[in-house]
Structure 1
């Protein structure tokens, strides 16, 4: 007698997205210094049919919601967690920009741990590329 193994959360997500007709979710990662380039990549991906997720709070630009340094640090932790959620939802990842900081490096590692394909707008900055 064969017993079916319960579906993993990843398998359930994949089946749910398929049932909803969601076939290509891409998340953009990178430093917010590349916000304008991220917008261009988001447009390009949207035009080819992808559902695009990206960071939307540019904490490098002054805003009342992160004016207080203590609140800003707490918000950054929350936003980093939200971005990891976006990576979990994504089918693939695009890293934007020609610089990889610690946060982006951690996002790349996380995406790769999850088996997500990772592409770079500037492949030479891939931390796992030969010679990098």
Structure 2
């Protein structure tokens, strides 16, 4: 928490840019500090695919998880890709709460999880 504000990092596939923006707005209006991705590689930000950039962004996103009280997974239609699975595992290993936009398609082996509809 920062002052009275919970810090939430958004995680999920960058193909869901619109949902990231919607959830960022909703969570902010609910009184949270929201940390999101800086680029949407699967939604047109071509810079992501330059040598070394995606790897740097992946490491940076783990730092964003470190700063958060919890993560909120943008998993449209229950989809969770490999990068997001790693982020969820990382968050759980570091004692972060994990909440989901939708019920995941596959159960994660780590517990606990919280589903938010």
- TM-score w.r.t. the length of structure 2 is 0.81
Please list every run of 5 or more consecutive structure 1 residues that lacks an aligned counterpart in the other structure.
1-13
Using the TM superposition, give the Cα deviation of residue 62 of structure 1 relative to its aligned residue in structure 2, in angstroms: 4.0
Residue 10 (structure 1) aligns with: none
User: Which among 58, 61, 68 is matched to residue 83 of structure 1?
Assistant: 61
More strand by share: 2
CA–CA distance in structure 1, aligned partners of residues 51 and 87 of structure 2? 18
Structure showing greater Rg: 1
- Assess if the C-alpha contact under 8 Å between 2:6 and 2:69 holds in 1: yes
Residue 111 (structure 1) aligns with: 91
For 1:24-103, list aligned pairs within 5 A.
24-63=6-45, 65-66=47-48, 72-97=50-75, 98-103=78-83
The size of the alignment, in residue pairs, is 108
Quote the RMSD (CA, aligned, Å).
Answer: 2.1
- TM-score w.r.t. the length of structure 1 is 0.73
